[in-house]
Structure 1
Amino acid sequence: MASRMRSPAIASIHQVKMNSQPEEILREIFKKCLDTHYPHLQPFLPTEAPMLLCRVCVLWRTIAVTTSELWSRLSVSIGREASEKLQPSPELITTWIARSGCQPLTLVLKDWGLRSSGADTVSHVLQLFVPHIHRWRSITLVLPNHAFPTVLMGLDSGPSQLQVANFEFCSDPGLLVPGTPQIAGLAQLLTSSERLHTLYWRNDPRALHLVNFPWEHLTVVDLVPVWSPMSQILHLIEKAPKLRSLAAWITGPFSPVLRPLLLPDLVILWIGSEVDIGPLFKRLTVPSLLNINVFCTKTMPPIPQRDVINCITRSGSRLHCAVFVSLHISISDVVEFLRRSPSLLLFEISDADEAVITDEILGLLMASDTACLCPNLRIIRFLGSSLSSTDGLLADMVASRRTRRSIPAPVALLSRLVVHLSEADTLNHAEDIRRLKILAEAPDFRTWINEPEAA
């Protein structure tokens, strides 16, 4: 109790010490008070920075109000989220943006309401954002119940600072017809954004190809979770040769790939598909690829996807992460892939049409007196009954990689193992499971068997 009684006095002493610092130091300290985990969101809560900083004393308020970086991010939610969070008044939004001075702005506007709910509020908030469109550095518009804001039409914003755009709104026929107000508003924003490098598009991808904007500057494109025709993905790859990250769901109709496709800077590739993606990977070359995630919906009969493996081999990619979900490949394909991926740090294979992780593969991954495959491998996930092995070999493989040995190729310590076994395999691998649980007692190793992987 005594310590609680002294706390106000201690706080006063700390404040006096803080106030004795030069103003420049206080400004830097105030900037550190912002949420670094979600920098694109800035709360309006009076108990959080920067609002809290304005309530401590006159000096702090003066410094906070005149530190424009504190006010360069703001997020407004309407609808369901609005009932759970304190939302700003139009006057506060106006004041907030004014305090940001000439700083580039990160703005978020989300409407989670019903189709007719909040339309006037959304329009009003956008009207407050639009006069500062020339300062938009990052804009997020999640408007699932409203067409694209035509309020952007006819604006002369001058040189655009926009670098990141995140758009999600309802399916609107006006976005698929050239010359409509929706397309005009979209074009008005994007065509002048020569600094735009990141695009998150949660809508029909066909709308993007009605807007002539600088695709060649894009380095990140994320089209998930909307399905995109393969023709649109091919068009995107040809238009944006500087891509470093691409995520897309691919659907039909099937499009033949006649020309070679080169993405020399691509580092991350996430592809989900319900069609044969072999023609795409057969023509694609990605020499800088580090992370690949391929998810195929199950088809009958299964579509072989060996061209995915061939693409990686042909490109000479030094992969760090490979995730294959429902990818129809053979055991020999897996062996070839692992042989060509010595730099692999994470390997996941799941929901295969048949078990492809066999004793042969586990033996090749085992550390011994000779070099093993993927000596840097630290995380393994064999999920969805992809494992077919005799009892004991899985634990032997793990144990061998948990022991440092003097071998030609150094072996990185395995740090995570996640395995899903069928009910029958669980009984057959009783010895494996017992030994793996013992190995999991090591402080730098964790294993999950038939259970969700924890963070």
Structure 2
Amino acid sequence: MNFPDGVSSWVPTKDHFAYIQTIIRSGEDISDIPSLHTVIGSIQTEVAKRERELEQNRREHKILIKEHNLLSSYAQNCSTLLAPIRRLPRELLAEILGLCCCHENGSFSTNPDEELRNVCHRGLRQLAQVCTLWRRSVMGTPKLWSRISIRIKLWSRCSVSPDTLLSMLTFALNKGEQHPLHLRLIATSSYSHSALVLALLVSHASRWKNVNMMVDTGLQKTLAGLKGQLHQLQELRLNSVAIESNVFDYAPRLNKVSVEATSRINCLPKLPWGQLASVSYRGKVTTGLIDVFSCLSVASTVTNVEFFLDMLVPSSVALWTPVHSNTQSLTLCFAVEDVAIVDRVFDSLTLPSLQTFVFAPHEETVPVWAPHAFHSLARRSTFADHLTYLVIGARISDEQLLDCLALLINLQKLRVFDYATHVAITDKLLLGLKHSSGRSFVVAPRLELLYMATLLQFTDSIYFDLITSRVNGCCEGQASPFQVHIRCRPTRKRELSTELLDNIAKLEKEAKGRLIFKRRVLR
């Protein structure tokens, strides 16, 4: 194989490589190849030329990469100008940013870091650092700064001084301008900054809308500045010390009040009772305390009332003053073991508009039921006409419960509870609730929801018969669509059988919407 005279446009092929390799392996004399030195020199020249071209290409490649990255970054920045969030109205952007921080100031702090985060509105400050647009939105939207949560006793343990926290609170209040204020405050006079903080908040009293406040007697004088300033107040939750300051009697928009009785209440608090729609009272009732139910008589427009009471009144106390109320919902959560006390409570009430009645435990004590007094209350208040929702968690027998339900012909929702010390949900109760077209009288014929928190001390087949009868009643138009919710309590001694659950699942499928079954098992 001959070598070319010049190699400027020549590139060796596989055959050329094979030829050279053959000569190398054979040890052949190459003296007859006079042009070899010339070829090598020419090839080395071409190699150097190619190296120069490669170096030039490498420089151009680096330039291209740099230009590519710059162009991509610039295009991305230009695209950002067209991002949907930049075209949002300011109000909508502020709402979105507010949702990002909705966890802040939603409840009382439990540790110093949470307290610092709440007081300084850390989430809002972090969002304000993202870009100028977001900073303008955060700093220029009073609503975002109008949720305040303070627990003074944690201030001394925060990583910044109480004076700094007070400055942060002042900043937030000023940023909120005149926007309605949601306020949570726990303060006691034993902490040096409590009076300063409360005075600062009182200076914004005209903004108060939703308030949850617990203070002690040492701060009552500071509350005096609230009187006549609560023009926007709608919801109020206070301890008994705060409410006894009597500064909440003029609040034209107030409609919901909750009282935590941390001390004795010796007179009916001065509140605009005639305009309240919801009242809640939590505390103890002893012989030295006012009859807490008397507020029902003066709250003429109230529709929802809740009492969470530790009933310590001895049975020798005389009957309370009769109370007549048009409330639509009454919750009585009692810690009481004396049936005479429950008798007096029921005997003192007349509730001609009641639709929802809840009788349940307060804390750990299961209250005793007063069947005869309830019958009188039901007849006196014509529960048969309007009571549609009943919750009973009490020491009540299955027979007493059936007698109670027999009075409530318009009942639609029933919740019943078993307790470790007392069982109400038995075969007798389930048989009594069974719907049958052949029976002249059906207990709760319009029942559409049966909720049971149970120890499962009943027979599965009877439970299934009850469900089937109610579903069939739906088909016949004699009862409302039926929902069954069962919660199996942890102290139960058995489980629902697989056969029962399979039968209910089959029935639920066949019922096509006339049955909804929900089961929750607590371990």
Tell me the TM-score range normalised by the shorter chain.
0.7 to 0.9
Partner of 2:349: 284
The counterpart of 1:246, out of the listed 299, 306, 313, is 306
TM-score of the superposed pair, with normalisation by structure 2: 0.66
Among the aligned pairs, what percent are the same residue? 18
Q: Deviations over 1:102-128 (max 9, x none)?
A: 1221111135x9x95xx1133332132
User: Would you say 1:434 and 2:501 are equivalent positions?
Assistant: no
**Residues 1:71 and 2:145 are matched in the alignment:** yes
| Counterpart check, 1:365 vs 2:401 | no
Q: 1:164 maps to what in 2?
A: 235
1:123-181 CA-partner distances (Å, limit 9, x unpaired): 332132121122222222234xx435134255275442233222237xxxxx6xxxxxx
2:211 to 129, 132, 139: 139
Query: Closer, same or farther in 2 for the Cα pair 1:92/1:281, shift >3 Å?
Result: same
In the TM superposition, 1:264-303 aligns within 5 A as 264-274=326-336, 275=338, 276-295=341-360, 297=365
Provide the secondary structure at the position in 1 that maps to 2:333.
Answer: strand
Question: In structure 1, how many angstroms separate the alpha carbons of the residues matched to 2:295 and 2:462?
Answer: 45
Matched, 1:412 2:470: no
Distance 1:440 1:83 in 2: 57
Matched, 1:61 2:125: no
1:340 aligns with 2:414: no
CA contact (8 A) 1:77 1:110 kept: yes
Are the aligned partners of 1:266 and 1:288 in contact in 2 as well (CA < 8 Å)? yes
Report SS of the residue matched to 2:448: coil
Does the residue aligned with 1:138 lie in a helix, a strand or coil? strand
Kindly provide the CA deviation profile for residues 398-422 of structure 1, in whole angstroms up to 9, marking residues without a partner as x. 3444678521323423341124598
What code does the residue aligned with 1:279 have? R
- Give the Cα–Cα distance (whole angstroms) in 2 for the partners of residues 46 and 298 of structure 1: 43
Matches within 5 A, 1:301-450: 304-317=370-383, 318-328=386-396, 331-338=399-406, 340-351=408-419, 355-369=423-437, 373-383=444-454, 387=457, 389-390=458-459, 392-401=461-470, 406-420=475-489, 426=494, 433-438=497-502, 444-448=516-520
Deviation sequence 1:297-324 (CA, Å, 0-9, x none): 568xx77443224423442343443222
With over 3 angstroms needed to count, the CA separation of the structure-2 counterparts of 1:341 and 1:247, relative to structure 1, is farther
Give the CA RMSD over aligned residues.
4.3
Corresponding position of 1:261: 323
Aligned to 2:251: 193
2:272 is aligned with what amino acid?
A: P
Q: Which moved more, 1:155-164 or 1:102-111?
A: 155-164
Counterpart Cα distance in 2 of 1:227 and 1:366 = 40
AA partner of residue 149 (structure 1): L
Q: Match for 1:59: what amino acid?
A: L
Query: Which of these residues, 98, 106, 115, is aligned with residue 174 of structure 2?
Result: 98
Q: CA 1:12/1:305 → structure 2, altered by over 3 Å: closer, same or farther? A: farther
Structure 1 residue runs without a partner (length 5+): 1-5, 170-174, 176-181
Q: Deviations over 1:176-197 (max 9, x none)?
A: xxxxxx887x12x223334333
Deviates more, 1:435-444 or 1:146-155: 435-444
Q: For 1:247, what is the secondary structure of its paired residue?
A: strand
The structural deviation recorded for 1:96 is: 0.8
Q: Which structure 2 residue ranges, 5 or more long, are not aligned?
A: 1-72, 109-116, 510-515
1:195 maps to amino acid: R
Alpha-carbon distance in 1 for matches of 2:499, 2:328: 41
Q: Matches of 1:310 and 1:349 in 2, distance apart? A: 23
| In 1, Cα distance between equivalents of 2:319 and 2:285 | 19
Shift of 1:76: 1.6
- The residue number in structure 2 matching 1:18 is 85
Deviation at 1:95, TM superposition (A): 1.2
Of Structure 1 and Structure 2, the greater helix share is in: 2
Q: 1:147 to 1:394 in 2, by over 3 A?
A: same
Change (3 A) 1:263 1:327: farther
Aligned to 1:152: 222
| Greater gyration radius | 2
- TM-superposed deviation, 1:18: 1.7
Residues 256, 276 of structure 2: 8 Å contact kept:
yes
Distance 1:82 1:362 in 2: 58
Name the SS for the 1:59 alignment partner: helix
Partner residue of 2:193? 121
Tell me how many residue pairs correspond in the alignment: 417
Q: Return the alpha-carbon distance in structure 2 between the equivalents of residues 94 and 422 of structure 1.
A: 52
Judge conservation of contact 2:279–2:306 (CA < 8 Å) in 1.
Answer: yes
Change beyond 3 A, Cα 1:384–1:208: farther
The alpha carbon displacement at 1:75 in A equals 0.7
Quick one: structure 1 residues 15 and 54, their matched pair in 2 at CA, closer, same or farther if it must change by over 3 Å? farther
When residues 211 and 395 of structure 1 are mapped into structure 2, their CA distance, relative to the original with a 3 A threshold, is: closer
Q: 1:237 and 2:296 equivalent?
A: yes
Alpha-carbon spacing, 1:253–1:233, altered in 2? closer, same or farther (3 Å): farther
Question: How many Å separate the matches in 2 of 1:445 and 1:339?
Answer: 26
C-alpha separation between the residues in 1 aligned to 2:209 and 2:485?
39
Structure 1 distance, partners of 2:352, 2:342, is 19
Alpha-carbon distance, 1:38 to partner: 8.0
What amino acid maps onto 1:246 in structure 2?
Answer: E
Partner of 1:3: none
Q: Give, as a single letter, the amino acid of the residue that structure 2 aligns with 1:137.
A: K
Residues 59-79 of structure 1: per-residue CA shift (max 9 Å, x gap): 222222222222221112344
Distance 1:293 1:135, change over 3 A: same
* Contact 2:334-2:366 at 8 Å conserved across structures: no
Contact 2:300 2:325 in 1 (8 A): yes
Post-superposition CA distance 1:356-404 (Å, at most 9, x none): 444443134334545663543324215368x5x4562123223444678
Other structure's SS at 1:55 match: coil
Q: TM-score, normalised by structure 1?
A: 0.74
Report the equivalent of 2:54. Answer: none
